[in-house]
Structure 1
């Protein structure tokens, strides 16, 4: 990098200030106008990486997955409307890319999905990164692929495991239209606020989860205010909500359902819930019961 000539003849402290200014105003990547294909069939879906400013000096990376054509250019709804969206918060020490299978499946169904990164893949380290992802969807950079793509009134937030704890904090602070727990439940510190949640919620649990144990998930789901629904997936373990259940297998927590089948059912349930919740039709509990291998409890 070349220094401006005017600084070459100034006191060294000016160089320090100039360098500090550069560090504090680090340039984000240019906002993408198209993405790269995540999958091309049966419905093309693309992904793109955005960087948004957070906490004045930080750059937060957000992976965005969206319906596209076969060139990675975003598709628009045929009726001229905008797509609903989901902010998906990663579980502890699980990379956001390990949820691209779910983001891609939802995008193929007409959703835009934003997956914010967190330092050390630990979402509690930067809870408001999910909020920055939401703001990216509602106020995207001018000329970017997101401009005019998302309906700001139809954005849900979801999280897996520890990410669900963070997602519930974001939902409790307002600005989202629905909440999804994936093998998770609210922070006990938020117990007094949970009754005021005021939006549809889905708690999706694995019957054989060895981390978010089913009795605890059931108990916490019973405290969520209506409209809420608990869905237990038979034979499913904790890491089957991610790209691989190897961590379950290695710890002796053996699923009874194949990973591909678990993924199909998880995506179908999340999609059906969001279809109902983001159109003012509650939780869609009756349609959730149609998915095989489920136990559905509605409140």
Structure 2
């Protein structure tokens, strides 16, 4: 099993793979460990898990809500770790599965394997699981939500597959579509059309001056394509973090989208349904 630091091991029930009991501390109160799990029957898949920890890197006691994060196309999972850390600071356990060729669309069951991994961990509350993804990962997020096992879903700078839109309204779980008004890759009109197909309750939050790759750790790709944002990336990240934390807290506690907290985001337009 690959790890990023020396780990203590246990065996996941029914899985047969070693699982870390402690990981590398990446910042005070947050640790990272890499698990191996099975997908597509026999394939071994790496899943990076970011979780709230003590100073030794062991998970904090208690049952924490879990999130599966699906990477965008050709974007490394490490570039979304800032989001995972932001969630882990507030008590969430975030699983970022690796997909072949960094294309989640062709390995959707990898996300399901990450979900099953989370449910196997004693420090995760299997009744409070969410799924989220960026760009192409939003397409996969909708498909995973349709597969069941999740109580909330977030689509970042993306929208569902047209093949799924007829099934989504009946899904019955809180959803959030988070978009940048200056996104040159996922047109806002397409994001709005996709949001209209999501189940209720749902919120569409559009962040002024934010571009596509600001959802990652760098806006370099936007700038290379002549799509410079008018909002600094640190400010964009702070607003995204505010939206995610407000949404997930409400979704898991009351089954709502957290409208009051979303309305407090500076420079954001909020629509509800």
TM over 0.5: yes
Paired with 2:71 and 2:16, the residues of 1 have a C-alpha distance of: 22
Aligned to 1:102: 83
Aligned to 1:38: 26
Moved over 6 A (4+): none
CA distance 1:91–1:28, shift in 2 (3 Å): farther
Indicate conservation of the 8 Å contact 1:185/1:221, yes or no: yes
**CA apart distance, 1:153:** 0.7
Residue 115 in structure 1 maps to residue 96 in structure 2: yes
1:271-286 mapped onto 2 (5 Å cutoff): 271-286=245-260
Aligned to 1:87: 68
Paired with 1:198 and 1:256, the residues of 2 have a C-alpha distance of: 36
Residue 292 in structure 1 maps to residue 261 in structure 2: no
Aligned to 1:164: 138
Aligned to 2:51: 66
Aligned to 1:269: 243
Please report the RMSD computed on the Cα atoms of aligned residues, expressed in angstroms: 1.4
Residue 225 in structure 1 maps to residue 199 in structure 2: yes
**CA apart distance, 1:90:** 0.1
TM-score relative to the length of structure 1? 0.84
- Count of residue pairs brought into register by the alignment: 259
Instruction: Kindly provide the CA deviation profile for residues 142-170 of structure 1, in whole angstroms up to 9, marking residues without a partner as x.
Output: xxxx3x20110100000000001001001
Paired with 1:182 and 1:28, the residues of 2 have a C-alpha distance of: 34
**CA apart distance, 1:37:** 1.2
Paired with 1:112 and 1:240, the residues of 2 have a C-alpha distance of: 22
**CA radius of gyration, larger in:** 1
Instruction: Kindly provide the CA deviation profile for residues 79-134 of structure 1, in whole angstroms up to 9, marking residues without a partner as x.
Output: xxx11111000000001111100000100011000000000111012111000000
Q: Which runs of 5+ in 2 are unaligned?
A: 1-14
Moved more, 161-170 or 50-59: 50-59
Aligned to 1:48: 33
Paired with 2:116 and 2:129, the residues of 1 have a C-alpha distance of: 10
Q: Higher strand share goes to which structure? A: 2
**CA apart distance, 1:28:** 8.6
TM-score relative to the length of structure 2? 0.92
Instruction: Kindly provide the CA deviation profile for residues 199-247 of structure 1, in whole angstroms up to 9, marking residues without a partner as x.
Output: 0000000000001111111122122231000000011000000011100
Paired with 1:109 and 1:255, the residues of 2 have a C-alpha distance of: 28
Indicate conservation of the 8 Å contact 1:36/1:46, yes or no: yes
Aligned to 1:177: 151
Aligned to 2:184: 210
Paired with 1:294 and 1:76, the residues of 2 have a C-alpha distance of: 36
Moved more, 212-221 or 126-135: 212-221
Paired with 1:56 and 1:277, the residues of 2 have a C-alpha distance of: 32
Indicate conservation of the 8 Å contact 1:28/1:59, yes or no: no
Aligned to 2:114: 133
